[in-house]
Chains A and B, each alone.
Chain A
Amino acid sequence: MKTIAYKIFAEALVLFLVGASGYLVAEMILPGFLSSRIGIGWIFIGFALTVFPMHIIGRGVSVSGLERRPSRRASVALVATVAAIAALLAIRDVPSVVWVSGFVAMISSMTAVVVILVGSGADRRASE
C-alpha cells in the first residue's frame, strides 16, 4: 500500500505541476488577471498537499528496483522551497515583474525538489 500511495502522490504532484505551469503561463500572458481571481496561495496549498505526503511516506519505497532513501538534502530543499513560497505570498506589494520572476523561481525550485525526491534515493543507491 505504501508503494501505491507513493505512486498516487507522485502522479498527483505531476498533475499539480501541469496545472501550476498552466497558471504560470497564463500569468505571464496577462499578469494579474488570473492571480486576482484565483489567489496564488492555491499553488502553495497544492504543492504542500502533494509533496509533503510523498516525502513522508517515500522512505523505503522501491524506485526502479532500488530502495528509496530521501536524503537530508531533499528535506532541506523542500523546507527552503516552502519557506520561499510563504515569503513570496507574504509580500503582496511588489511590482508584477518581481511577482512573475518569483513565480518562475518558485516553479523551478518545486520541479527541482520533485527531481530530488524521486531520484535522489535511487541515484545514491545506484552509485554505491
Chain B
Amino acid sequence: MIYPDFTPGIEVPVSHRRTYRLLRALLYTVFFALAVAFFIRLVYFDERGRFDFEDFAASRNTIADPRYADGLPAREGRIPVSTPMSFNMAAPGSFAEVEVRMTVADGSPGPTTVSLLRSYRAFLYPEGPPAGFRDGSLLRIGEKYGVVSGGEFRPFGSAESVRSRGYDTGAFRTVSEAEVSIHPSGEPVVAGEYAPGMIVVSDGSYYRYHDGRFLPFVSGRAYLTSYRPEDALSVDIGVIRQVGADDTMIGFADGTLISYGESVYAVEGNVLRPIDSVDTFLIKGYDWQSVVAATGEEFGMYERGRLYTRKQPHPSGTIFAYPEENRSFLIDSGRKREIRGPNILQSYGSVTPVVVDAVTLRAETCDVREGFWPGTYRCDIPFDRLKEWRIPEYQFEVVAATDSILKNVEVTFVRSIDRENFALFAESLIGRLRTRYVGE
C-alpha cells in the first residue's frame, strides 16, 4: 500500500475494495491538486481591495479614501455627473489586469468609465509653489549675505556687518539668484536682532529662535537633519539665558525615518507616524539604510500619531526624486512642491528621496458594463502599458454620465505568474523572517 490507512478500524468488504481504491486515488489526486492550487495562490496571490459605502469608516475597507477632486470624502458613494470619484490602492508586483466590480444602490444607473493611474498618491497632490530653503538657512549671492526668516530672504548687509554679528562669511551657502528669488525679499536684519528661524549654538547645543525664545534641538544629529553646522551662530550661554529658552524641543526634519525598539516611524512635525508593517515600508519606497536609530530622549519628545499604513499617503517632508530628468519634489501639507536648484535640494539632503520612475503619468481606462447580477457593474483594465513602471500605488477615477450611487466597490489586481512576482514573494517572506527572528 502506497498510502497509510488512516482508518483501519473501518473494514471495506472485499467486493468493494476496487471501488475504494479508485476513490482513494481520486481523493489523493484532489488533495495534491488543492495543495498545488493553494501554493500558487500563496505565491501569486491577487491583491484585493474593497470599500463599503454603507459602512464608510469600517477598518475592513481596504481601498483608501474615496473622494472628490476637492478632497471631500465621497461618503454616500455618490458620483454626480462631471464630478468623478477617486480612490487609491497599493499593490506591489506585476499584474495581468485589474478587475473593478461595483454594486450600485437600488434604481441607480451604473458609472460609465474607470481610469487607473500608476503613481504614489502624494505624488498626485496639486502642485504648490516651489520649495525654498528652510528658515534659518544662511545664504550668499555674490557679496549679498542674508538669512531665510519666515519664508523671506532677509539681508544682513555687507560682509563687514556679517562679521560684526559674529558670523564667518564662509558659513553662508553660495546660491544662485534663481534659488533666492523663490523667497520674497524681507526687511534687513538689524544689528542685535535675532530674526525668527535664526540658529545659534552654545555649549554644543543648537537652538532656533522663535517667538522671542530659543527652542532647543533635541540632539545634534536631529539638528543636522535640517541644517549644516555652519548655519548656527556661536553664542555664549549667557545669551541663551538672557533671551530665554523654551521647553519645547525641535526634533528631526520632517520626512526622516527613525527607529525605536522594533518599530520604524516617519517624522511629521512633532508627531511620529508608526509604520504598520514591512510591506508598507517597502510599498512606500523607503530604504532601510536611511532609518536613524533614535535614542530614548529623541523618541520621547514626540507625540504618537495615527498608524502609517499602506492606505495613507506619504507624510509631509517626503522628497520624491525623478533621476531621469533630475527633478525633485517636496511633499508639504497636501501639496507637491518642486525643488528647483541644487542648493535647495542639498538643504533637504538628510531625507532619503523616494524614487519615482515617471513625472508625466499615464492612465488606462475601461468602459463599465453590466455584471451578471442585477445592480452590479464591472470593468477590466488592461495592465500591459502600466507594467513598465515600478511604483506600487494606484489611483482610480470613476466617472458617471448620469448621477450614480455606489453601494460598494471591489478591486482585484490579478497577479501574473512570472519570475518577478516569485522574487517579490521570496523577498517578502525572507524579509519578514529576518525582521521577526533576526531583528534586522
> Could you list which residues of chain A lie within 8 angstroms of chain B, going by C-beta atoms?
1, 3-4, 6-8, 10-12, 14-15, 19, 29-30, 33-34, 37-38, 42, 61-65, 92-93, 118, 122
State the CA gap A14–B4 with chains docked (Å): 11
Tell me if B436 and A37 are in contact (CB < 8 A): no
Tell me if B41 and A15 are in contact (CB < 8 A): no
A3-B13, A30-B436 known; A38+B41 contact, CB < 8 A:
yes
- Report the minimum CB–CB distance from B74 to chain A (whole Å): 23
Tell me if B12 and A19 are in contact (CB < 8 A): no
Tell me if A11 and B9 are in contact (CB < 8 A): no
Tell me if A62 and B10 are in contact (CB < 8 A): yes
Please, could you name 16 A-B residue pairs with CB atoms under 8 Å apart, sorted by A?
A1-B16, A1-B19, A7-B20, A8-B24, A8-B27, A11-B7, A14-B7, A15-B31, A19-B35, A30-B432, A33-B428, A63-B10, A64-B9, A65-B11, A118-B9, A122-B9
A4-B23, A8-B27, A62-B11 known; A30+B433 contact, CB < 8 A:
yes
Tell me if A15 and B7 are in contact (CB < 8 A): no
Tell me if A11 and B27 are in contact (CB < 8 A): yes
Cβ contacts under 8 Å, B59 to chain A:
93
Tell me if B23 and A34 are in contact (CB < 8 A): no
Cβ contacts under 8 Å, A33 to chain B:
428-429, 432
Cβ 8 A contact of B60, one of A8, A14, A34, A93 = A93
State the CA gap A3–B24 with chains docked (Å): 13
- List residues 410-433 of chain B with CB under 8 A from any CB of chain A: 428-429, 432-433
For residue B6, CB closer than 8 A to chain A, the reply is yes
State the CA gap A38–B60 with chains docked (Å): 16
Tell me if A7 and B10 are in contact (CB < 8 A): yes
Cβ contacts under 8 Å, B12 to chain A:
3-4, 7
Tell me if B27 and A12 are in contact (CB < 8 A): yes
For residue B45, CB closer than 8 A to chain A, the reply is yes
Cβ 8 A contact of A14, one of B6, B24, B41, B436 = B6
Cβ contacts under 8 Å, B20 to chain A:
4, 7-8
Cβ contacts under 8 Å, B45 to chain A:
37-38
Interface residues on B, range: 20 to 34
The 7 A-B pairs of least Cβ separation, nearest first, read A37-B45, A64-B9, A14-B6, A10-B7, A4-B20, A7-B10, A15-B31
Where chain B touches its partner, the secondary structure class is: helix
- Report the minimum CB–CB distance from A121 to chain B (whole Å): 11
Closest A residue, CB atoms, query B433: A30
State the total of A-B contacts with C-beta under 8 angstroms.
68
Cβ contacts under 8 Å, A92 to chain B:
60
Tell me if B42 and A11 are in contact (CB < 8 A): no
Cβ contacts under 8 Å, B42 to chain A:
34, 37-38
Most B CB within 10 A of own CB, among A1, A15, A62: A15
Cβ 8 A contact of A38, one of B16, B28, B38, B428 = B38
- Report the minimum CB–CB distance from A85 to chain B (whole Å): 19
- Report the minimum CB–CB distance from B438 to chain A (whole Å): 13
Q: A1-B16, A3-B11, A3-B12 are in contact. List 5 more A-B contacts (CB 8 A).
A: A12-B31, A30-B429, A33-B428, A38-B45, A42-B38
- Report the minimum CB–CB distance from B270 to chain A (whole Å): 28
Tell me if A4 and B16 are in contact (CB < 8 A): yes
State the CA gap A33–B23 with chains docked (Å): 34
Tell me if A8 and B10 are in contact (CB < 8 A): no
- Report the minimum CB–CB distance from A49 to chain B (whole Å): 11
- Report the minimum CB–CB distance from B3 to chain A (whole Å): 8
- Report the minimum CB–CB distance from A99 to chain B (whole Å): 15
Tell me if B41 and A10 are in contact (CB < 8 A): no
A7-B7, A11-B24 known; A37+B60 contact, CB < 8 A:
no
Cβ contacts under 8 Å, B10 to chain A:
3, 6-7, 10, 61-64
- Report the minimum CB–CB distance from B48 to chain A (whole Å): 10
- Report the minimum CB–CB distance from A76 to chain B (whole Å): 24
State the CA gap A82–B13 with chains docked (Å): 33
Tell me if A15 and B27 are in contact (CB < 8 A): yes
State the CA gap A14–B27 with chains docked (Å): 12
Cβ contacts under 8 Å, B7 to chain A:
7, 10-11, 14, 118
State the CA gap A99–B205 with chains docked (Å): 48
